[in-house]
Amino acid sequence: MPVERSENMVRKPVDQPKLEAFNKCCNFLDDNDDCQYLMSDLMEMLLKFSAESDKLCGGKHLRELLSARYSNNVVISSRIKCFGTVASFRPIASRILTENSYAIRKKSLWKKEEDSRCG
């Protein structure tokens, strides 16, 4: 059952430098064609964009921020062997998967056609 938020709930105040660093990170992500990032790389990127030298947020909080910002356009895969946690952005990832799927299907149809001519 979803929890209803009350207007009287006390919320943690927004830390402006952290918010600015997150927005710069998102602008970088939006301007690049890469579709997958390690969460550890994104956390390092946040530090690079920050004026502060301490840790900006943990992995769980970064997931929540990315999910809030990109909603269903980001898929965060937990603990992939050898890599760790990966954030995949759907529009580009979807295009790559679709193109690969069509290429595989085309190759398969070409192979069947060639086998029928030879057989």
Q: To the nearest 5 percent, what fractions of the chain are helix, strand and coil?
A: 60, 15, 25
The conformation of residue 72, written as its DSSP 8-state character, comes to G
Q: 21 in a domain, yes or no? A: yes
Number of domains in the chain: 1
Instruction: State yes or no: pLDDT of 27 exceeds 90.
Output: yes
Q: 78 in a domain, yes or no? A: yes
> What's the whole-number mean pLDDT along residues 80-102?
74
Amino acid making up residue 61: H
Residues 50-67: tens digit of each pLDDT = 876 666 678 888 889 999
Q: 117 in a domain, yes or no? A: no
Q: 10 in a domain, yes or no? A: no
> What's the whole-number mean pLDDT along residues 70-86?
79
Range of the domain at 34: 16-89
Cα radius of gyration (the chain):
21
Q: 26 in a domain, yes or no? A: yes
Instruction: State yes or no: pLDDT of 74 exceeds 50.
Output: yes
CA distance 90 to 79: 19
| CATH value at residue 32 | 1.10.10
CA distance 43 to 58: 8
What confidence score (pLDDT) does residue 3 get? 47
Q: 83 in a domain, yes or no? A: yes
Q: 7 in a domain, yes or no? A: no
CA distance 116 to 119: 5
CA geometry: angle at 42 spanning 41 and 46, to 5°? Answer: 115
